[in-house]
Structure 1
Amino acid sequence: MIRHILTKLLHAVITLLLSAFVVFLGVRALPGDPALALAGEEADPATVAAVRRSLGLDQPVLTQFGHFLANMVRGDFGTSIRTGTPVIDLIAATLPVTLWLSAYAIVIAVLIGIVAGTVAALYRGKWPEWVANLFSLGGLSIPHFWLGLLAILYLAVTLNWFPASGYVAVTENPLRALYYLTLPAVILGTALAAVVARQTRSSMIETLGADYVRTARAKGLSRRSVLGNYVLRNSLIVVVTIIGLQLGGLISGAVVTERIFGLPGFGKLTLDSVFTRDYPVIQAVVVIITAGYVLINLAVDVVYSLLNPRIRVGGEA
């Protein structure tokens, strides 16, 4: 098991380094000159050159990447070209918003998805299964931005049930923060809820036909006990894996949701940095998202190996 974890950790480090290099090159392939944007369109060439030299853009690409890696290891992502603020401060101010939104979306998605998947598995061929399948299909098919706009139009503007935009920090007023985050979290978690529902249904149908479930029924255990202690409990192993793999997608997918609902999160920071060609911020944002993906996948792989003893570790059963 230790060998398996160390191998996965090595793969994660290699993936992160390669991703950082691709991001570094991709950012520099963006059209436009950040030095010219910072100095101004009417600046003379000497001023633009001085700005480029101060940003280190006049050095070879590999040298710039080496400095970037060295600073990244120390937690220094540089200074924003647009605002002059340290990038780490911008991340510290915006990342908690996205993390709270993603966590809230996961809770909503898991609750709705498990209930819908359980209903669909227990009532196969009946109208509850059709409703659950329709919900899953809609959650996977409807674009988030369109669903978010409809939610704002009807639930926020017409019915005035939720605020159309705005944000309150969880540390300031938790209840009011949940009130402001509920509608964006529901929209963000729709696709995840659909995936969880489909996976729960498939896993429960497979588990219901297992030998140990039939043995539990033959022993006279109640239907509720069999479903709770045997069927649902064993079916959640797959669901845990799906949730872990989707968490990184939620963090990166929050870009559109935050933009629609005006949340000052990681997504807004990403879009603003792309529009202004703010190299240090773009690099830091993408590297952090990539690191989140890698670490989450690593954690899910390890947890899944612990939960399921049938997983082969290091070539041994």
Structure 2
Amino acid sequence: MARYLLVRLLQSLVTLVLASMVVFAGVRALPGDPARALAGEDADPAAVAAIRARLGLDDPLPVQYLKFVGNLLHGDLGTSVRTGQPVIDLIKATLPVTLWLSLFAVLIAVVVGIGAGTAAAVWRGRWPEWVANLAALVGLSVPSFWLGILAILYLAVGLHWFPASGYVPLTDDPLRGIYYLVMPAAVLGTALAAVVMRQTRASMIATLTTDYVRTARAKGLPRSKVLTGFALRNSMIVVVTIVGLQLGGLISGAVVTERIFGLPGFGKLTLDSVFTRDYPVIEAVVLVVTVAYIVINLVVDLVYSLINPRIRVGGRTS
């Protein structure tokens, strides 16, 4: 275990270094000049030059990269070109919003997806499978922005069940914060629920036909124990993989949902920084998402051994 973690940490470090290089080069390849965007289109060339000098944009790219890495090692993500605030403060203010939204979306998707997938596998060829497949098809086909607009029109404006927009920090009022997040989390988690449902169904169908499941049934074990203790547990390997990969995608891809529901999250910060060519914020955002993917993948690998003890984190099976 210790050796495996050390190897993964070294791999993660190499990944971060390569990601920082790609991010640094990619951001500076974007069209537009942040100094010009900050000064305004009609600004005096001398003022633009002064801003470029202040931001260090006149230095050679290798020098800029070394300064960038040095600041990262000291925990300094830079200062926003657009607002003048430290980037770390902007991330602290917006990242928790997206994290809570993504976690609630994953929770809804897992509960709905596993439940529907299990029902579809157990009652294969009957109406529960048809309903689950139809729901999964709709969830994968309907765009999230359209689903969000419909949710606002019918559930918020029409029935007044949920607020149409806004956000309350869970640290201030947990119940009210959850109330504001339920509808956007359900919209964000719909596609993931459909994927989890289909993967759970396929994995459960394959597991229910294995020899050890038939043996368990022949020994007279209760059907509920066979389903939960054998079939469902072994089917969770695929589900954990899907959820782990999708969680990182939800964190980085919640832009549309946050825009529709007016959430001051990480996605909004990313979009605003791209539009204004805010180099420090863009670099920090991409690096945070990269770290999130690395951590999530490591956690998924460790969870494998908890779900199925035969799987060892070093890649061997017992």
Shift of 1:41: 2.6
State whether residues 77 and 87 of structure 1, in contact with CA within 8 Å, keep that contact through their aligned partners in structure 2: yes
In structure 2, give the amino acid aligned to 1:25: A
C-alpha distance in 2, partners of 1:66/1:181?
A: 41
Q: Taking structure 1 as reference, are residues 186 and 168 closer, same or farther at Cα in structure 2, changes over 3 Å only?
A: same
1:218 aligns with 2:218: yes
Equivalences for residues 39-188 of structure 1 within 5 A = 39-188=39-188
2:26 — aligned with what?
26
State whether residues 114 and 196 of structure 1, in contact with CA within 8 Å, keep that contact through their aligned partners in structure 2: yes
Identity of aligned residues (%): 69
C-alpha distance in 2, partners of 1:189/1:12?
A: 28
Shift of 1:148: 1.0
Shift of 1:149: 1.3
TM-score scaled by length of structure 1: 0.95
Shift of 1:116: 0.5
Please identify, of 3-12 and 244-253, the stretch whose mean Cα deviation from structure 2 is larger. 3-12
1:313 aligns with 2:311: no
Gaps of 5+ in 2: none
2:193 — aligned with what?
193
C-alpha distance in 1, partners of 2:316/2:9?
A: 17
Shift of 1:263: 0.1
Q: Taking structure 1 as reference, are residues 83 and 178 closer, same or farther at Cα in structure 2, changes over 3 Å only?
A: same
Shift of 1:169: 0.7
In structure 1, give the amino acid aligned to 2:268: K
Shift of 1:138: 1.7
State whether residues 9 and 298 of structure 1, in contact with CA within 8 Å, keep that contact through their aligned partners in structure 2: no
Shift of 1:265: 0.5
Q: Number of aligned pairs?
A: 317
C-alpha distance in 1, partners of 2:140/2:300?
A: 23
C-alpha distance in 2, partners of 1:315/1:186?
A: 38
2:270 — aligned with what?
270
Q: Taking structure 1 as reference, are residues 257 and 301 closer, same or farther at Cα in structure 2, changes over 3 Å only?
A: same
Q: Write out per-residue CA displacement over residues 173-197 of structure 1, whole angstroms, 9 at most, x where no aligned residue.
A: 1111111101100011011111111
Q: Write out per-residue CA displacement over residues 143-179 of structure 1, whole angstroms, 9 at most, x where no aligned residue.
A: 1111111111221112221111101110111111111
Shift of 1:3: 3.8
C-alpha distance in 1, partners of 2:120/2:258?
A: 32
Please identify, of 185-194 and 217-226, the stretch whose mean Cα deviation from structure 2 is larger. 217-226
State whether residues 3 and 314 of structure 1, in contact with CA within 8 Å, keep that contact through their aligned partners in structure 2: no
Shift of 1:253: 1.6
In structure 2, give the amino acid aligned to 1:287: L
1:285 aligns with 2:285: yes
State whether residues 251 and 289 of structure 1, in contact with CA within 8 Å, keep that contact through their aligned partners in structure 2: yes
Shift of 1:306: 5.5
C-alpha distance in 2, partners of 1:296/1:310?
A: 18
C-alpha distance in 1, partners of 2:315/2:72?
A: 32
State whether residues 110 and 196 of structure 1, in contact with CA within 8 Å, keep that contact through their aligned partners in structure 2: yes
State whether residues 5 and 302 of structure 1, in contact with CA within 8 Å, keep that contact through their aligned partners in structure 2: no
Please identify, of 36-45 and 212-221, the stretch whose mean Cα deviation from structure 2 is larger. 36-45
Q: Tell me, what secondary structure is at the counterpart of 1:199?
A: helix
Shift of 1:238: 2.1
State whether residues 79 and 280 of structure 2, in contact with CA within 8 Å, keep that contact through their aligned partners in structure 1: yes
Shift of 1:39: 2.1
In structure 1, give the amino acid aligned to 2:53: R
1:302 — aligned with what?
302
TM-score scaled by length of structure 2: 0.94
Please identify, of 107-116 and 135-144, the stretch whose mean Cα deviation from structure 2 is larger. 135-144
RMSD of aligned Cα (Å): 1.8
Q: Tell me, what secondary structure is at the counterpart of 1:161?
A: coil
State whether residues 27 and 282 of structure 2, in contact with CA within 8 Å, keep that contact through their aligned partners in structure 1: yes
In structure 2, give the amino acid aligned to 1:313: G
Q: Tell me, what secondary structure is at the counterpart of 2:299?
A: helix
State whether residues 145 and 260 of structure 1, in contact with CA within 8 Å, keep that contact through their aligned partners in structure 2: yes
C-alpha distance in 2, partners of 1:191/1:166?
A: 23
Q: Write out per-residue CA displacement over residues 38-87 of structure 1, whole angstroms, 9 at most, x where no aligned residue.
A: 22333222221111011010011111111111111222111111111100
Gaps of 5+ in 1: none
C-alpha distance in 1, partners of 2:213/2:42?
A: 76
State whether residues 301 and 313 of structure 2, in contact with CA within 8 Å, keep that contact through their aligned partners in structure 1: no
State whether residues 56 and 64 of structure 2, in contact with CA within 8 Å, keep that contact through their aligned partners in structure 1: yes
Please identify, of 162-171 and 150-159, the stretch whose mean Cα deviation from structure 2 is larger. 150-159
